[in-house]
Structure 1
């Protein structure tokens, strides 16, 4: 007979676990934190820049589930010292961190001709170096405490190339995907899993502002109708996938980049892709 596990397969549950979500005060990050609260997480630490927004988000999250407490830590994810201080405070307050979601990012338009060196550096600092420093600090904690944890990095279909209007952003997300696989290989012997979610076109507050400015307020109806599956992504779609990757239900998955872009075929974006990819 094939040996069975000592316990049955786990459902998607966050009960008894503590999580960190960068960029968790709004948009996609908040949607991820919201689903973790719904799954019964004990504690959720939101790391973001703006105090007023972050504290309001933490208060709202804490009201969703009587067993969940959300905490806000003002963090400049472009500043190594700020990241180090916030990680130390979070670990001190919550004792043990079960999972990390690197959701914070910046998206700046610019192609090979128009992107400045400062533009390029900023995208790499926010979208690649920030997640690197967060992963380094939290994985060291997990190893020290012998926690079989999970790290999820939010990447993008743009990482596959073919989107010149967001050249530096695409490169930063490709770097993040490479780091995801490297870290998965390094941390697997410690029982720490590392995966990524490559997003496609998603309706977010920032995307709504951009598309309304460039076209009109009905852009989402047109965008949804243009998709073979009937609509573009919503933050909740991404959050559900992240929730799965953080849970014990995915405890044999590591080093994977989950493609979540039903509007695109696998592989490179079309060379005539319009300026619509946003996260």
Structure 2
């Protein structure tokens, strides 16, 4: 089996300034990649970009290819939470959620793929969520967007498989990130975190680096026969009755 290596690969990570994205950037760099961070946070990203803005994505990805010569790996990690009431939610709210959590992955793939297809090699990893299969009340319509991202993964994988490009999804469960902390902070239940830990078969939630290791494996040639797949990284939460 090929060892995990991203040596000299140009790896673009969206939402790479914090959380899982930052961990992916760090693990990819450790594995030899030349990492390019794209983030709306200009203080932390190498390239500032609103990934829901098609013109901005086209411009930034064009600059990346010009600077680095190609894109070998794209990690679509940028995303946002959603806490809407299905009746009170506006159309603008809906469009914003889906623009960031679903449309952005297509836009970034659209502008990364020409480089990959030209060289007959490439890998895209979409960071979805356990919410693509399980969800909780009060987080409408997050599950719909993440389910769509898994569907996008399968569809895109079939479109480009014959041209040497693989597309996969990783679905993290609870992970110690700002997004999960925001979820905990919104609750007035002081026992919420304890109850979350108790339903995990491993008895804890993930650190961002644990998700990043799986992302980088799928991005590498060690996963050369894996495409169109969704890998759950959830500490066994999705395998049990709660």
TM-score computed with the length of structure 2 as normaliser: 0.92
Structure 2 CA distance for aligned equivalents of residues 221 and 167 of structure 1: 23
Picking from 35, 39, 48, the partner of 2:39 is: 48
Task: Give SS of 2:13's match.
Answer: strand
Map residues 145-160 of structure 1 onto 2, 5 A cutoff.
145-146=119-120, 148-160=121-133
Map residues 185-196 of structure 1 onto 2, 5 A cutoff.
185-196=158-169
Task: Give SS of 1:51's match.
Answer: coil
TM-score computed with the length of structure 1 as normaliser: 0.80
Number of the residue aligned with 2:118: 144
Map residues 230-245 of structure 1 onto 2, 5 A cutoff.
230-245=203-218
2:117 and 2:163 in contact (8 A); partners too: yes
Number of the residue aligned with 2:181: 208
Number of the residue aligned with 1:58: none
Number of the residue aligned with 1:94: 68
Give 1:217 deviation, angstroms.
8.5
Runs of 4+, deviation exceeding 6 Å: 216-219
Q: Which runs of 5 or more structure 2 residues have no equivalent in the other structure? A: none
Number of the residue aligned with 2:140: 167
Q: Say which one has the larger Rg.
A: 1
Q: Say if 2:123 is the partner of 1:131.
A: no
Q: Which runs of 5 or more structure 1 residues have no equivalent in the other structure? A: 1-8, 55-71, 271-279
Q: Deviations over 1:208-235 (max 9, x none)?
A: 2442453589965664344221211221
Which stretch shifts more, 111-120 or 183-192? 111-120
